[in-house]
Amino acid sequence: MTVTQSNSLQTPLYFLSVESKAKFTDFAGWEMALQYSGLKKEHQAVRESVGMFDISHMGKFSLRGKALRSSLNYLVPSDLSNLESGKAQYSVLLNHEGGIIDDIIFYYQGKNEESIESGILIVNASTTSKDWHWLTENLKNQDIELKDNSRDLALIALQGKNAVEYLNPLVTEDLTTLPSFGHLTTEIDAQTVFIARTGYTGEDGFEIMTTPTIAQKLWKYFLGKNVTPCGLGCRDTLRLEACMGLYGQDMNEEITPLEAGISWVVNFNHDFIGKDILSTQKQEKVKKRLVAIEMEGKYIARHEYPILINNQVVGHITSGTLSPTLNKAIALGYVPYNYSKIGQKLKIEIREKLYPATIVKKPFYHR
C-alpha cells in the first residue's frame, strides 16, 4: 500500500479509505476522500439504499455548565431554552451584524444530579478554529466548560433509507424509534458511542461519533456488509438536491439567516446577538434571497457565475451541479428580493454565453 506524503491532516479512517482506493482532495486542511467507486454510484447508493461517509474532519465541541442552554441562547437566533434532553437543534452562530459565523447542530444531553447541563456542538471543519475562539470569548464569563474533541474523536455518517437496518443490530437500543434530530449515547465493545439521527443528504440516516478504534471497526464492519463508502463529491450533490446550504459558499459572515433562506431557525422571542439587524430585515424585507434555480438545459451553473435579468447582472450562483437523481442542472444563488419569486425567469452567464433558467420551489428533491 502506497500513501503519498501530504501536509494535510488525516482522519482516523484515512488509511482505510486508502485501502479502498479513494481519490483524495484537500478540504479545509484535511486530506479527504473525494470519491471511491464514482460520484454517481455513491450518490445513488445513498438515495436508494445506504452509504457511509468519513466526516471526522468536522469540529466537535463538548460543553458543560449550569446554565448551558441559556448561555448559548444569546449566540444563536434559535431558542434553546426548551430543548429537551436527547433532542438537537440546527442553528447558526451570529456576529453583531446578524451575519452567519457558521451553521451548527447543538445536541442537548440534559442535566446531571448537580444540575450541570451538557451538550455537543458539531461545527464545520473550515470554521472550527474561528468558532472555538468566538465561543470561548463569549462564554468566558458564563462558567461554561468547553472541550475541543475535533482531533480525538472520529465521525461517520451512515445515510440512506436502509441505514437503520445496518446500525440497529450493533446496539441494545431500538434505533427505529429514535426521532429525527434525536440522539443517544451507548456503548460498542465497552467504548462510548454517540449516535444522532441527523445528516446532510436529504435522506434518513445517522451520524456516529466515537473513538478512532471503534470507528475503524465500524467502517470495516459496514464494508463487510457491502455498505457503499462515499466521498465529498456525492456529499455535495446530495446536499444540493436537498437545498442544504454549504458554509463559505451559500452563507458567510456577510449574509443573514433571513437572506440565506433559513428564517425558520430565527425565534424573535428571546435576546440574541444581531437581533436588531434581523428585526429590521424582517420588517423592511431582505434586499436579497437565496433561491433554487433550475437550468433549462444540461449546462451547469457553477459557483460565482453571474445571474442576469433583463441583461443586467443581479446576483451570482453560490452552488451548482448536474443532479444525479433528477438528471437536471440545478443551482443555488442570490437574487434581489423583488426577483425571488418562484417562476422568475433568469439567464446564467456560462463562459461568456447566456443560458435560460427558472427559480423553482425548494428543495429540488424530496425523499
**Tens-digit pLDDT profile for residues 191-225:** 999 999 999 999 999 999 999 999 999 999 999 99
Q: What is the DSSP letter of 158?
A: E
C-alpha cell belonging to residue 218: 465500524
Q: Which of 285, 292, 334 is nearest to 309 (CA)?
A: 334
By the 8 A CB rule, do 79 and 264 touch? no
Angle between helices 39-48 and 232-241 (to 10 degrees): 50
pLDDT tens sequence across 326-341: 999 999 999 999 999 9
Name the average pLDDT for the chain: 97
Split at pLDDT 50, 70, 90, the class of 3 is very low
C-alpha cell belonging to residue 122: 458539531
Longest dimension (CA), the chain: 66
The helix (run of H) or strand (run of E) holding residue 209 is strand 205-210
Of all residues in the chain, the percent with pLDDT exceeding 90 is: 97
Q: Is the pLDDT of residue 319 over 70?
A: yes
pLDDT tens sequence across 122-131: 999 999 999 9
Q: Is the pLDDT of residue 30 over 60?
A: yes
By the 8 A CB rule, do 336 and 287 touch? yes
CA gap 306, 323 in Å, rounded = 20
Give 125 or 6, the one with higher predicted confidence.
125
By the 8 A CB rule, do 235 and 319 touch? no
What pLDDT score was predicted for residue 7? 79
What pLDDT score was predicted for residue 6? 61
Helix, strand, coil percent values for the chain (each to nearest 5): 25, 35, 40
What pLDDT score was predicted for residue 4? 47
Give 300 or 7, the one with higher predicted confidence.
300
Split at pLDDT 50, 70, 90, the class of 73 is very high
pLDDT tens sequence across 231-259: 999 999 999 999 999 999 999 999 999 99
